[in-house]
Amino acid sequence: SGAPAAEWGGFEDNMQSGGSAVIDMENMDDTSGSSFEDMGEMHQRMKEEEEEEAEGEAGAGEEEDGEFLGMKGLRGQLGRQVADQMWQVGKRQASRAFSLYANIDILRPYFDVEPVQVRARLLESMIPVKMINFPQKIAGELYGPLMLVFTLVAILLHGMKTSDTIIREGTLMGTAIGTCFGYWLGVSSFMYFLAYLCNAQITMVQMLSLLGYGLFGHCITLFVTYNIHFHSLFYIFWLVVGGLSTLRMVAVLVSRTVGHTQRLILCGTLAALHMLFLLYLHFAYHKVVEGILDTLEGPNMPPFQRVARDIPVVSNAVLNTTAKTIALTL
């Protein structure tokens, strides 16, 4: 009984060792199978990754090609739409820059003034200021000066018609407009440049306004003296009315200029130009215009007329002698 028991124990040990070997084989088989499956999955994943990378590179190449062709304007509706929008925006901006309404908006602040203010400024242009220790205020508008320039043009045309000037080939409005606007713009520009050199605190718009309102005295003087032809009356108006308007401008410039020499140069130049221009309009303007017309159109010759001409005495004697000779011959 002891030997069978021992044999049985050895058999059990062999069975246990064989079972463990079988289990190990199974485990080994499972491990090997899972490793083969993992290798297959890894291989498949590597293939998929390579395909994705190839597709990504192809897509990137197509996008680069598309961008290049889009910059050249050869592909896609998006590029054309963007180009059309840019063209429309540029066209609108250009039309807005050259439109009349936009220009009117730019000039509107300089003409936005009430008639009551214009009337008050016309009266102030004849009253010289006394306070020159601080800068005097100058209206920054151009409506009043522009109307005064046109008024001066109308007065000059009226003076041409009431004088002995012969108007040929239409009116002389172009000459009057050129003279008045040339003086207003030209002298204003020159005085602004001189004020800049003399360090006067004044802008170009203020200079145009100051000189334009200064023409109010010229308009009054010429309107009165063109209808009442007395030289003494003109000199009185020239000194009083023209002098008051000139003193007003001089006082304003003095209040805005520092330095006695600068004040003397600036104010003396303005006073001389303003007063001499009034003398020119009264005495020399008509003669200068007549000279220009004679130069351009020729002298004012009377129209051609047919008149009977007298036969000279020598011709009569020759005719009488010839008639007598023919009669004696016959």
22: pLDDT strictly greater than 50: no
- 284: DSSP letter: I
Let me know if residue 52 belongs to a domain.
Answer: no
Let me know if residue 30 belongs to a domain.
Answer: no
Q: How confident is the model at residue 165 (pLDDT cuts 50, 70, 90)?
A: low
How far, in Å, CA of 11 to CA of 4, rounded? Answer: 10
Let me know if residue 53 belongs to a domain.
Answer: no
195: pLDDT strictly greater than 80: yes
Let me know if residue 84 belongs to a domain.
Answer: no
Let me know if residue 103 belongs to a domain.
Answer: no
Tokens at 196, concatenated: 């800049």
Q: What is the pTM (predicted TM-score) of this model?
A: 0.59
Let me know if residue 147 belongs to a domain.
Answer: yes
Tokens at 318, concatenated: 């020759």
Let me know if residue 317 belongs to a domain.
Answer: no
pLDDT tens track for 308-329: 434 444 445 545 666 666 655 5
Note the pLDDT of residue 271. Answer: 94
Note the pLDDT of residue 158. Answer: 84
Number of domains in the chain: 1
Q: How big is the chain by its Cα radius of gyration, in Å?
A: 53
Note the pLDDT of residue 293. Answer: 63
Let me know if residue 229 belongs to a domain.
Answer: yes
Parent domain of 264: 115-124+131-297
How far, in Å, CA of 69 to CA of 88, rounded? Answer: 22
